[in-house]
Amino acid sequence: MPGARSVWLACRAGGLPYASASTVSAAWQRAAERLHTAQHGAQDYSSSASGVGVALPHLTRTGCIYLDYNATTPIFPEVAAEMAPFLFEHFGNPSSGHTYGKVCKAALDTARSRLAQLLRAEEPGEIHFTSCGTESDNWALYGAVMAARAAQARQQQQAQGQGQHQGGRQAPPPHVVTSAVEHPALLVHLRHLQEQGLLTYTAVPVDGEGLVDPEQVAAAVQPNTALVTVMHSNNEVGAVQPIAEIAAAARQAHARANAAAAACGGGGGGGQAGAPAPPAGLLVHSDAAQSTGKVELDVGALGVDALTIVGHKFGAPKGVAALYIRRGVHLANYFYGGGQEAGRRAGTENVMQVVGLGAAAELARREDSQLRRHMADMAARLLAAVRAAVRPEDQDKLRLNGPSDPARRLPNTLSLSIRGLNSAVALQRLSAQLAASAGAACHSADGESVSAVLKAMKVPLEFAAGTLRLSTGRHTTGEEVDRAARLIVQEAQRQGVLG
């Protein structure tokens, strides 16, 4: 593998400009292609040629079939091509006013615009770069709650200044509504903030397909509800939630709850006279980590105030993400320091990673329907191959978890249960031949044998314990899924659960 000097020479050989404001250039493409070829062999990954359905040499060479795209994706070669110059050539601080800084500032601006286009945001300034999805989720939650608490404090001060007495009553802490199947980045943080006395929360259940009922969200809304946060799609079973309906129902319920509280002479204090009123407004956040690059995202149509995007889920590197914040929405800062990201997120931006995020966003926008169709075809072929390899009398031992309607499920995700299978043993035995998971990679170290998502869906234990999460991606091939199906069925036969 080439060392640092080889990379530098590749960049120089590509004729990389020092002062170009464009983040996309033929020179950058050539440099990264030369480096990639030196490592992995020749392959056409030019911007005019789609890489959809093309196997990556460094994946196929291992002999291990990669069906864990929901855990992470490889960095797509086109993305690496745009990142390459920022390893050495373009090293400036984007906050600097000289040439080196301006090049990097222009690269940030381009990436921001690309992500805004992918999400159909009104303006690039609504995109804020972060280090990971956990940070974005934490910021959305903490920022909404602390902004609500600050609004409560201002209202109390105004009331006291006007001589209104509240009998010593304190406003209840802000309330949050979420679902039972959220990522730990939200659920663990919610529990922590509740233990600190900063909020209360309600986790609404899901149905047997992993879907949230908007009416149950509405029923959980209180006058002091500051935030509704429901993931756009589930990372384990692929359920795509009705976010637009959830947002509309929650806002209507919030308006009704506050109108009723006002009519009773107070707000979040139980409707008693003299109780402090809750702050107006309800924010809606959704974690779209798994949805980006797989389904269409339109923040306006969704009706969200904030949306989490994670780079390594759709071809960008790890260590970069974003939080969309709708124009006019106030979230308290999570990081404090410099004035980066319009003063909302302190810390020097990771330019190379952000460039990768922007490149992945542009690729996702350009390949949208083609990529979606390919992932869906590969997932359908995998499921069909498994079923075809199982005897008719054993078909009832197979269960597909998640929505039965493909339109309500991520196109690439299969949560497949085989009754009686020990999925942990299966994955360990197949680990050199098949890369998959029993659930979310973020849950794999918690010692739980059955995922919390499947428990929330009330999947029977004999199926839940035998669940494999299989997720296809941009570079999955038909030959790979056919071979994976054979390996899975052979392992089930080895365990004696299939004939």
- What residues are annotated to the active site? 442
DSSP state of 266: -
CB 86, CB 28: distance < 8 Å:
no
Other beta carbons less than 10 A from residue 62's beta carbon: 11
Say if residues 84 and 31 touch (Cβ distance below 8 Å).
Answer: yes
Please name which of 134, 177, 178, 25 lies closest in space to residue 90, comparing C-alpha atoms. 25
CB 132 within 8 A of CB 183: no
Residue with tokens 């969704």: 302
Residue at token pair 């080439």? 2
Inter-CA distances, 228 with 199, 234, 302, 304, Å? 13, 16, 13, 10
Angstrom CA distances, 464 to 127, 255, 401, 468, stand at 38, 40, 9, 9
Number of Cβ within 10 Å of residue 336's Cβ equals: 8
Q: Which two tokens stand for residue 92?
A: 């400036």
Instruction: Dig out the tokens for 162 from the structure.
Output: 């006007």
CA-CA distance, 269 to 273, in Å (whole number)?
Answer: 9
86: Cβ–Cβ under 8 A, 6 or more apart, which residues? 104, 107, 351, 352, 355
Q: How far is CA 218 from CA 97, 142, 252, in A?
A: 49, 22, 8
- Cβ atoms within 10 A of the Cβ of 461, count? 12
How many C-alpha atoms does 113 have within 13 Å on its Cβ side? 8
Helix (H, G, I), strand (E, B) or coil at 178: strand
As a whole number of angstroms, the distance between CA 157 and CA 172 comes to: 16
| Helix boundaries (H) for 390-477 | 423-429, 452-456, 461-464
**How does DSSP classify residue 268?**
T
344 vs 265: CA distance, rounded Å: 36
What one-letter code names the amino acid at 192?
H
Cα dist from 90 to 19, 45, 275, 351, whole Å: 9, 23, 57, 9
CA 456, 181, 144 angle in degrees (round to 5)?
Answer: 145
- CA separation for the pair 205, 180 (Å, rounded): 5
**Single-letter code of the amino acid located at 380:** A
Query: At which residue do the structure tokens 């008693």 appear?
Result: 272
